[in-house]
Structure 1
């Protein structure tokens, strides 16, 4: 495995995106354990895109305007829905004053489901991996598929670790935020605006 791949993958993973924003928001609103759940969900959410890239299915999104637009606008709608829920203090981004002490199966499933959908409903990921992975695989090699699977596994592990770190930092300052109503209100607005901004960015994306 090349150093170039590891460096490139790391830069991609640490770059702010919907998954990172959601994981940080979960750490601030629900504590460290739930931020780990969010990181896990975000990691699972990229599996379909990696699988599509390996199978060549991502090319369909590149060639079919209807398929791309359908996925894109579904993703935009979901991000706007998250922004609305954040402002209303509902859904997976609801402020939980008890934090990790109140972690349960239902809330974990909700956070996981939201995290998976955030990454799944982003057609740019499939197209990105379609262009990204083949650059680090030797053309015509008999071990092309195993090599792409190995690279995909490394990318997913790196994603999970980085997102857990993001969530950990957010959870560390959580107590200083939830005890201050004004700061809490601004935090909700900031995350709502972030989701709207990411939705607009996705809406403007082209194939």
Structure 2
């Protein structure tokens, strides 16, 4: 494993995208536990991309304009759905031991879908992994390192957001604006993906 691979992976993981945004949103809305679950779900969502890359299915997506467009617009639709859901969410957020916990299953499913429906991640793996690995075993090994770094990085983002939760929730107007910002960010990422 080369230093170039580790540096490139660190840059890719540290650069905020849909996964970071979702993990931070979960941390702010539901706390530390939810942020770690969201980070796990986003990391789990990389597995199909790795399988597609190792088996060559990702190359088909890269080569077929129609397949790329289908996945791309499913991803756009899902990001717009997340934006709309975030904007419409008017539930009160409470920080207490009695507050109901967010559904881990729902958080994981949303996080996995974010990555599965992100064709840019597949294209990233198609362009990225072959530069550092020549065999499927090496690709799997490097993908595992990528996933570990993704999980660690997303947990840091999520825990930071969760640590700000008490301060944010004590000001309802701030929470309203944060929800709007997250919704706008999901929508902007959807538009960006649509224009890819």
For this structure pair, what is the TM-score category when the shorter chain's length is used for normalisation? over 0.9
**What's the offset of the Cα at 1:100?**
7.2
**Contact 2:95–2:166 (8 Å) recurs in 1:** no
The partner residue of 2:116 within 99, 120, 123 is 120
How many residues align? The count is 196
Mapped partners of 1:11, 1:187: distance in 2: 26
Q: Who is 1:131 aligned against?
A: 127
Mapped partners of 2:195, 2:130: distance in 1: 26
Q: Who is 1:173 aligned against?
A: 164
Q: In structure 2, the residue corresponding to 1:73 is in which secondary structure? A: helix
Runs of 4+ in 1 over 2 A off after TM superposition: 98-104
TM-score normalized with structure 1 length: 0.90
**Contact 1:30–1:100 (8 Å) recurs in 2:** no
Is 1:204 equivalent to 2:174 in the alignment? Answer: no
Q: Who is 2:145 aligned against?
A: 154
**Contact 1:79–1:195 (8 Å) recurs in 2:** yes
Structure 2 unaligned runs (5+)? none
Residues 1-207 of structure 1 correspond to what in structure 2 (within 5 A)?
Answer: 1-89=1-89, 96-98=93-95, 102=99, 104=101, 107-137=103-133, 139=134, 144-205=135-196
Q: CA RMSD in A?
A: 1.6
**What's the offset of the Cα at 1:103?**
5.9
Deviation readout 1:33-59 (Å, 9 max, x if unpaired): 000000000001111111111111111
**What's the offset of the Cα at 1:98?**
3.6
Mapped partners of 1:37, 1:14: distance in 2: 18
TM-score normalized with structure 2 length: 0.95
Structure 1 unaligned runs (5+)? none
